[in-house]
A and B are shown apart, each in its own frame.
Chain A
């Protein structure tokens, strides 16, 4: 079945089994490998991405559900290395990743978190992201999310200022 949707800001069309998980569609049909397979049961969060601004565990989301919608993966979070998303910048500032495999899922969850909780506490972060990391980057993820929220606020202020000028 042909399914049309937007991926990282660009229109795309795939002709696949409508039940095919979005995870495998983005990885193997669209060749975007940041979104990871971890458990295949929507438990570990490595496959987290955004659909119309909400987070989804894409291993458990049939591609037919995103027909006409807008999908964002980590590859689409920022334009390029020179224009990092606050979450990516904070991840670098706090030297977060170890093996790095779970990080795309964490970063996509974090990107959503700072939009709905612009000034999160440790507790907000602990209660709202349940992804799994085996290397133990948890303390740095918590720090990085708080830093990302700060970067977001600063950049919002700057762009507000520019808009006024």
Chain B
């Protein structure tokens, strides 16, 4: 299968890169090592990227990827009230943690959202307020994506329970505009087609 081949090649490629230069952070250009950018794929890739961005920029995702320390809420992205802060481990302060209010599932009584390991994406993975191009670069940059290879990225974005919460956000909250399967497909496709990034 195409997908399997892609992953295998990628893993070997990453291994090689690691051996070649262990001290240099692998960045998004690694993808090009594995699959040379094919200008014929550009259109396809950018289209897939557009779909990915629709999800990433949906309030359910971007609200917890702030570039500062405060989560946002709602489709209007208002700052989380009550002095809520990422704290040192992105899961709240020393006293009040995210888990003080947010548990492993949405609460049926209060409608407070919940999912396993509820918390903020690390500050390095902040997207709020960035342009599509900046987010694309961040996604592919290990220093800004949680040290993830493209394979890890796909895995994180398609299996992590907190990410998947976006499609089960609870009453009164809109899910991302793209179904989760289509999102996964688009992400694969974007990476496979060489992860083209729009000019602006």
A residues with a Cβ closer than 8 A to B are: 19-21, 40-43, 48, 54-57, 59-62, 65, 109, 112-113, 116-117, 126-130, 132
Give every chain A residue within 8 A of B97 (Cβ-Cβ): 54
Q: State whether A60 and B96 are in contact (beta carbons under 8 Å apart), knowing that A19-B109, A40-B109, A41-B112 are contacts in the complex.
A: no
Give every chain A residue within 8 A of B100 (Cβ-Cβ): 42, 48, 54-57
A contacts with B: majority SS: mixed
Give every chain A residue within 8 A of B109 (Cβ-Cβ): 19-21, 40, 59-60, 62
Contact yes or no, A54 B99, CB < 8 A: yes
Q: State whether A43 and B93 are in contact (beta carbons under 8 Å apart), knowing that A54-B99, A62-B107 are contacts in the complex.
A: no
B contacts with A: majority SS: loop
**Could you say which of B21-29, B78-86, B138-146 contacts chain A?**
B78-86
Q: Closest residue to B110 on the A side, CB-wise?
A: A60
Q: Closest residue to B95 on the A side, CB-wise?
A: A128
Contact yes or no, A62 B103, CB < 8 A: yes
* Interchain residue pairs with CB less than 8 A apart (23): A19-B108, A20-B109, A40-B109, A40-B110, A41-B111, A41-B112, A42-B101, A43-B82, A54-B100, A55-B96, A55-B100, A56-B99, A60-B109, A65-B103, A65-B104, A109-B95, A127-B83, A127-B93, A128-B93, A129-B95, A129-B96, A130-B96, A132-B82
Q: State whether A42 and B95 are in contact (beta carbons under 8 Å apart), knowing that A55-B100, A127-B85 are contacts in the complex.
A: no
Q: State whether A130 and B111 are in contact (beta carbons under 8 Å apart), knowing that A55-B100, A60-B103, A112-B95 are contacts in the complex.
A: no
- Assembly CA distance A104 to B80 (angstroms): 24
- Known: A43-B81, A55-B95, A112-B95; 19 extra A-B contacts, CB below 8 A, are A21-B109, A21-B110, A40-B110, A42-B112, A54-B97, A54-B100, A55-B96, A56-B99, A56-B100, A56-B101, A57-B100, A62-B103, A62-B108, A65-B103, A65-B104, A116-B94, A117-B95, A128-B95, A130-B84
Give every chain B residue within 8 A of A56 (Cβ-Cβ): 99-101
A-B interface contact total, Cβ < 8 Å: 70
- Assembly CA distance A61 to B109 (angstroms): 9
Contact yes or no, B82 A130, CB < 8 A: yes
Give every chain B residue within 8 A of A57 (Cβ-Cβ): 100-101
B residues with a Cβ closer than 8 A to A are: 81-85, 93-97, 99-101, 103-104, 107-112
| Of B81, B82, B104, B110, the contact of A59 (CB 8 Å cutoff) | B110
Give every chain B residue within 8 A of A126 (Cβ-Cβ): 83
- Assembly CA distance A129 to B103 (angstroms): 19
- Assembly CA distance A42 to B113 (angstroms): 11
- Nearest chain A CB to B38's CB is how many angstroms away? 50
- Nearest chain B CB to A16's CB is how many angstroms away? 12
| Of B83, B84, B107, the contact of A60 (CB 8 Å cutoff) | B107
Contact yes or no, A60 B93, CB < 8 A: no
Give every chain A residue within 8 A of B95 (Cβ-Cβ): 55, 109, 112-113, 116-117, 128-129
